[in-house]
Structure formats: C-alpha cells, structure tokens
Amino acid sequence: SAVISQKPSRDICQRGTSLTIQCQVDSQVTMMFWYRQQPGQSLTLIATANQGSEATYESGFVIDKFPISRPNLTFSTLTVSNMSPEDSSIYLCSVQTGGGVNTEAFFGQGTRLTVV
Amino acid sequence: AQKITQTQPGMFVQEKEAVTLDCTYDTSDQSYGLFWYKQPSSGEMIFLIYQGSYDEQNATEGRYSLNFQKARKSANLVISASQLGDSAMYFCAMREGRLAGANNLFFGTGTRLTVIP
C-alpha cells in the first residue's frame, strides 16, 4: 500500500497567478499520475510523472500550463499556471505500487482549487 | 468511444436495502482490471473492490460485490445493507493491460448515491 500526503487541501487563487500542488508518498514508486476533476465531472488524467524523465501529458494538457516536477521516487509537484476560473477543479495525485492490471491505485486527499 | 460508461447520474436507496450501480466498459484487451472507487464529499478516492478479466468468480469485499458479466462487458457494483455513510459518488474504472507502461486508470462519469433514512 501507499500513503499519500497532498497539499494544499484547498486554495482560493486570483486569476493569472500560479499554484503548486505537492504530493509526498511514504514509499518509492515509479509512476505518479496527476488527475483533474472538474466540478461534477469524472477524473481526467493530466499527465504521468516518471522520475528522471519528462512527464507525459495527455491530449489537451500542455507542459506550459501544467508543469510537473518529479525530483525523486517519493515526491512530485504539479503547477497550475496562469490560472483562470476554468481551472477551478479538484486535482488529485495517484500512485501505483506495481505494474500489473490488478494494481490498486492510491490517491492523495485532493486539492480543491477555486480561481476567482 | 468511452472506455467506461456509467448511465446512472444519481441513485437513491433506502437504508438497509441493497443497490446496484451500473458500469459497462469497452476494451479490446484480453487482460484488464476493473475497479470501483468511492468519493465522499471530502474528495478523497477510496478503493472498494477489484475484478480481473481472468477472474472466474465475482469479487466480494464485505458489503460490496461486483457482478461481472464479461460477455456483456459489464461490471456492476452491488452494495448490500446500505448505510447512511454510503452516500457518496461512486466511480467505475478500468486499467488495460495491453500497452507496457499504460498503467493509468480510465474513469466513468460516476453515480451519486444517496441513502435515505
């Protein structure tokens, strides 16, 4: 299993500013995932963050808007840049401790972001 | 096409009754895994139950069971003896096994369950 500490848990930000979300895991994991959950919607994968390499972004998400760092096997950050009200969402980091299809995904508590 | 479809935006159930939340999936992989997660209003994602594509028996975890019908590509969640604390969003998700490294989950749109006292 894995315990994930994600912070901040919530924030209210002014448009045009940036927010960095941190994700700390209690064990070493190869892959970390960042998801966005817009209000009333499902989870959408933003990117996969592997230690020692560039993050892999999904269609519709770009590095300039959502830069990701992965300095080691237990930590990652996601920055939401130049925010607009459309960025108001819950952002979740997730890890998997194995590579098989049966591997449970563990999630952080989420960051509830409101952009005003 | 959507990989995971949940057709029930909202469901109501009387306390102590059973409820079934529907989930259908779409994949061409032979190996895949199906998951159900619960998301309370606080926002965290809580793992409930897992079913593998090669599992012959339906998965069960306490009050949760998964009605897996492979030919119909459905993986419905059954919650027995509903409790007030079961009120939450429920997401069905799938992981495909075909591509190396493609380990992320695909989520459905969710079903909001409300348990009525």
B32 and A101 within 8 Å at the Cβ level: the answer is: yes
pLDDT tens-digit readout, B21-56: 999 999 988 889 999 999 998 888 999 999 999 998
| B1: confidence class by pLDDT, cuts 50, 70, 90 | low
Contact B91 A42 (CB under 8 A): yes
DSSP secondary structure letter of residue B105: P
The more confident residue out of A54 and A110 is A110
For residue A114, the distance in angstroms to the closest alpha carbon of chain B comes to: 14
pLDDT tens for B91-116 read 999 998 765 555 788 999 999 999 99
Q: What pairing do the DSSP bridges indicate for beta strands A10-13 and A111-115?
A: parallel
Return the pLDDT at B102.
Answer: 55
Residue A50, strand partner residues: A31
CB < 8 Å to B91, chain A: 42-43
**Dihedral sign from CA coordinates of A99, B50, A4, A36:** positive
Please give the helix or strand (H or E) that residue A69 lies within, else none: strand A68-72
Task: Please tell me the number of Cα atoms within 13 Å of A93 on its side-chain side.
Answer: 31
Q: How does the average pLDDT of chain A come out, rounded?
A: 92
Residue A111 pLDDT more than 60?
Answer: yes
Phi, psi of B75 (to 5 degrees): -145, 75
Nearest residue to B64 (alpha-carbon basis) of B90, B26, B25, B44 = B90
Which helix (H) or strand (E) segment holds residue A11: the answer is: strand A10-13
Q: Residue B62 — left, alpha, or beta (φ > 0 → left; ψ -120 to 50 → alpha)?
A: left
Closest residue by Cα to residue B96 from A107, A100, A34, A35 = A100
Q: What is the pLDDT of residues A22-43, one digit of tens each?
A: 999 999 988 899 999 998 889 9
- Return the bridge partners of A55, or none: none
- Give yes or no for a contact between A91 and A34, defined as CB atoms under 8 angstroms apart: yes
B68 to chain A, closest Cα gap in Å: 15
Contact A102, A81 (CB under 8 A): no
The answer to whether the Cα torsion of B104, B96, B49, A3 is positive or negative is negative
Neighbours of B31 (CB within 10 A): 15
State the Cα–Cα distance between residues B113 and B83, nearest whole angstrom.
11
- Given a contact cutoff of 8 angstroms between Cβ atoms, the answer to whether B90 and B22 are in contact is no
Residue A20 or A40, more confident: A20
Question: What confidence category does residue A86 fall into, taking pLDDT thresholds of 50, 70 and 90?
Answer: very high
The full length of chain A comes to: 116
Q: Is A7 on the interface with B (CB under 8 A)?
A: no
* A7-36 average pLDDT score: 95
- A59 neighbourhood in chain B, CB within 8 Å: none
Write out pLDDT tens, residues B60-80.
Answer: 999 999 999 999 999 999 999
